[in-house]
Amino acid sequence: MNFATQLTGGGLRYSRNAFNNEKRKVYYQNKNDISSVLNIMDIIEDVKLLKKNVYKAKDVISPFGIPFGSSQKVVTDVFGKPNFILSSTEIENHQVYFYKRRVTSYKYLLQIHFIDNEMVYVMNKFSTNFVYDEKELNNIGNMLIEKYTDSLNDKFISDDFSIADGDGNKIRIVTSMNLKVRYVWGNERFISKLNEQLRNDISQNVNLKKNKRSFLMSFL
């Protein structure tokens, strides 16, 4: 094989790899549950607004035994190398680790969110191939109640429920097109930092609109 053939073949391989990498990135961007500060604030508020079917956690909620605030290294020590790492979001110092998981008959995509190298949010999103009925939903709800609370005699009766601990951490089941289980960090320092960035984002957007208006007016 001469140099020209090697160069051309290598170029094709590079282009194909670049295309596949971009395709994977778009796939995981579409799966990402949080792409902006407003997204995560909406999720936090959604959990806060739930007043009925709120179960008290028997211990501090630690998704998969990993405490909120843990580093990326701690997570990879437990789960290994992620299937994909997403870094390009609107949130400062935000990374998302994606893991494809299968447990018995359940197949789901686990996403673990870090801000400033602290685990702040976890979500299990069950596969679209998993058609959940009331029996399956109750089964998952009862497993969460059994694992995280002392309410052994209670039965899961509604997807409109949450589990909360004394530190403000919460678990929430969401049923839409996919079944999701969300784990939300309630740390006040973390929420305060989100509010600060949200205010900065709003201020920047206002200034951007003013500058755009001034620029357009200069041509009139």
Q: State whether 65 and 20 are in the same domain.
A: no
pLDDT at position 155 is 67
Map residue 83 onto helix, strand or coil: coil
* Amino acid letter, 28: Y
Q: So what's the pLDDT on residue 49?
A: 64
Q: Would 219 be classed as within a structural domain?
A: no
Domain count within the chain: 2
Do 129 and 61 fall within a single domain? yes
Query: CA separation (Å) from 155 to 53, 113, 141, 142?
Result: 11, 30, 8, 6
Co-location of 20 and 72 in the same domain: no
Q: Would you give the DSSP letter of residue 152?
A: T
The closest alpha carbon to 163, from 45, 56, 64, belongs to 56
**Domain housing 23:** 1-31
Per-residue pLDDT of the chain (220 residues; tens, 9 = 90+): 554 555 556 666 657 677 677 888 899 999 998 988 888 888 887 766 666 678 899 999 999 999 999 999 999 999 999 999 999 678 889 999 999 988 777 788 999 999 999 999 999 987 755 556 677 777 888 888 889 998 766 666 666 678 999 999 999 888 767 788 999 999 999 888 888 887 776 665 544 454 555 545 455 5
Closest alpha carbon to 37 in 156, 189, 220, 200 = 200
C-alpha Rg value of the chain to the nearest Å: 22
pTM, two decimals, is 0.79
Exposure on the CB side of residue 5, measured as CA atoms within 13 A:
2
For residues 102 and 181, membership in a common domain is answered with yes
Q: In this structure, are 77 and 178 located in the same domain?
A: yes
Residue type, 91: I
The β-bridge partners of 101 are: 108
Residues near 71 by beta carbon (within 8 Å), at least 6 away in sequence: 114, 117, 118, 119
Q: Is 210 domain-assigned? A: no
Q: Give every CB contact of residue 63 below 8 A, 6+ residues apart in sequence.
A: 122, 183
User: By C-alpha distance, which of 187, 43, 48 is closest to 115?
Assistant: 187
Q: What distance lies between CA 201 and its chain's CA centroid?
A: 20
Does one domain contain both 111 and 153?
A: yes
**Exposure letters 49-65 (e unless 16+ CB within 10 A, then b):** eeeeeebebeeebbbee
Does 24 lie in the same domain as 61?
Answer: no
Do 153 and 94 touch, CB atoms closer than 8 A? Answer: no
Do both 22 and 72 map to the same domain? no
